[in-house]
């Protein structure tokens, strides 16, 4: 009956999602986005009061009022979407995956109703870079340092026939000694801190570390617990952060590619 199972599988329709549809796509993540033109001082204060994790804050300086949205703290609870009177909606795309910790933060100037734009030039090149990755290999060792298993579920989903991470030459490996990158989830618990440090030490240099999820980025709702040490960067150095609770497979893929981007550029330059 092995043949029957294989035949059934071969006859089933193709579900692979294209690279362009995947990158930055945040459908189902419940991360918020802001409609700048609808943003008012009143709405900003209301959403900040509604936010349970301080992902939204107001910063007043030099006569300007800024609304700050830190994706690294956001657990996608939707309260800002409910309280935002149309100015907050679910993000269709979140490009801030696999970026530096500061780049997880977006700001809007409330008086001028406009986003304070930062340099995002690297993001648009990601699609080109992932194509250039095809045929190369990246080995990832995933470490759960105390997660609730939500992020793991989405990381496992990366290997299903919709996302098929292996098509980019990216593999999950069993040992940190075989890995180029550690993909770390969870607030680091007291009981996992030593094991995480040992795994990091076992990865040969040069190595990359990506912190995954609200807990991995900033401790999430578990920050401050007596049994938790803190976010991943409280224990080992981190190169890129992927927000979300949990991040969707497309956000994870975007983040992994984003972290690789400086290395890809170097390689391209050397070639020419």
Partner 1 sequence: MNSTLPNSEAGVSRALDLLRTPNTRLVSIFGSIDENRARHVHYLIDVNGREYRMLSSPVTGPIPSATPITPSAAWYERELHDQYGIECVGHPDPRPLLFHENWPENVHPMIDDASHVPWAEGQHPFLKVQGDGVCEVPVGPIHAGIIEPGHFRFSVVGDTVLHLELRHFYTHKGTEKLFEHTPVMDGVMIAESVSGDNCFSHAVAYCQAIESAFGIAVPPRAQAIRLIGLELERMIAHIADVGALCGDVAFSVPAAYTARIKETLLRASTRFFGTRFWRGMAVPGGVTRDLSSAETCEFGKMVTAAARDFAQMARLILHTSSVQNRFESTGILTAEIARQLGIVGPVARASGIRLDVRCDHPSGRYRDINVDIPLYKYGDVLARARIRIDETAISMHLINETLKELPAGSVLVPAPHSGNAEALSAVESPRGELLYWVRIRDGKITRCHIKSPSFQNWPALPLAVPGNIIADFPLINKSFNLSYSGCDR
Which positions from 93 through 122 interact with partner 1, judged by CB under 8 A?
none
β pairing state of 181-185 and 138-144:
parallel
Which residue, chain included where needed, has tokens 């802001």? 34
Q: Which of 149, 201, 262, 266 binds partner 1 (CB under 8 A)?
A: 149
| Least distance (Å) between residue 230 CB and partner 1 | 12
78: left (phi over 0), alpha (psi -120 to 50) or beta: left
Structure tokens at 34: 């802001």
Residues 39-58 that bind partner 1 (CB under 8 A): 52
Name which of 122 and 202 has its Cβ closer to partner 1.
Answer: 202
Residue 84 CB burial class (10 angstroms; 0-12, 13-18, ≥19): buried
> Of 79 and 107, which has the nearer Cβ to partner 1?
79
The piece of 58-66, 130-138, 223-231, 251-259 that touches partner 1 (CB under 8 A) is 223-231
Decide: residue 221, CB within 10 A, 0-12 exposed, 13-18 middle, 19+ buried. middle
* Separation between Cα atoms, residue 38 and residue 17, nearest integer Å: 33
Query: How many residues of this chain interact with partner 1, rule: CB under 8 A?
Result: 64
What would the DSSP string read from start to end of 28-90? Answer: TS--EEE-GGG--HHHHHHHHHH-TTS-EEEEEETTEEEEEEEGGG-----HHHHHSTTSEEE
Instruction: Pick the binder of partner 1 from 174, 206, 270, 272 (CB under 8 A).
Output: 174
Does residue 204 touch partner 1 according to CB under 8 A?
Answer: no
The minimum distance between CB 193 and partner 1, in angstroms, equals 8
By CB under 8 A, name the binding residues for partner 1: 1-2, 4-6, 8-9, 12, 15, 27-28, 30, 52, 75-78, 82, 90, 142-157, 159-162, 172, 174-175, 186-187, 189-195, 199, 215, 220-222, 224-228, 245-246, 248
């Amino acid at each position: 009956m092995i043949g029957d199972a294989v035949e059934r599988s071969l006859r089933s329709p193709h579900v692979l999602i294209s690279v362009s549809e995947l990158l930055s796509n945040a459908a189902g993540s419940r991360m918020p986005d802001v409609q700048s033109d609808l943003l008012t001082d009143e709405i900003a204060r209301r959403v900040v009061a509604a936010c349970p994790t301080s992902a939204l804050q107001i910063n007043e300086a030099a006569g300007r009022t800024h609304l700050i949205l830190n994706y690294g703290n956001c657990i996608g609870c939707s309260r800002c979407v409910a309280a935002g009177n149309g100015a907050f909606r679910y993000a269709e795309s979140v490009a801030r995956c696999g970026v530096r910790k500061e780049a997880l933060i977006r700001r809007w100037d409330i008086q001028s109703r406009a986003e304070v734009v930062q340099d995002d030039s690297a993001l648009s090149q990601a699609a080109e870079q992932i194509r250039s990755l095809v045929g190369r290999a990246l080995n990832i060792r995933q470490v759960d340092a105390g997660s609730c298993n939500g992020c793991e579920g989405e990381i496992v989903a990366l290997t299903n026939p919709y996302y098929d991470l292996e098509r980019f030459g990216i593999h999950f490996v069993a040992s940190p000694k075989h890995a180029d990158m550690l993909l770390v989830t969870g607030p680091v618990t007291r009981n996992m801190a030593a094991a995480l440090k040992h795994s990091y030490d076992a990865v040969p240099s040069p190595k990359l570390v990506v912190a995954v999820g609200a807990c991995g980025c900033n401790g999430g709702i578990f920050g401050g617990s007596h049994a938790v040490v803190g976010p991943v960067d409280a224990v080992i150095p981190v190169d890129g952060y992927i927000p979300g609770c949990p991040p969707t497979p497309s956000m994870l893929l975007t983040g992994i590619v984003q972290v690789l981007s400086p290395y890809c550029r170097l390689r391209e330059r050397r070639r020419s």
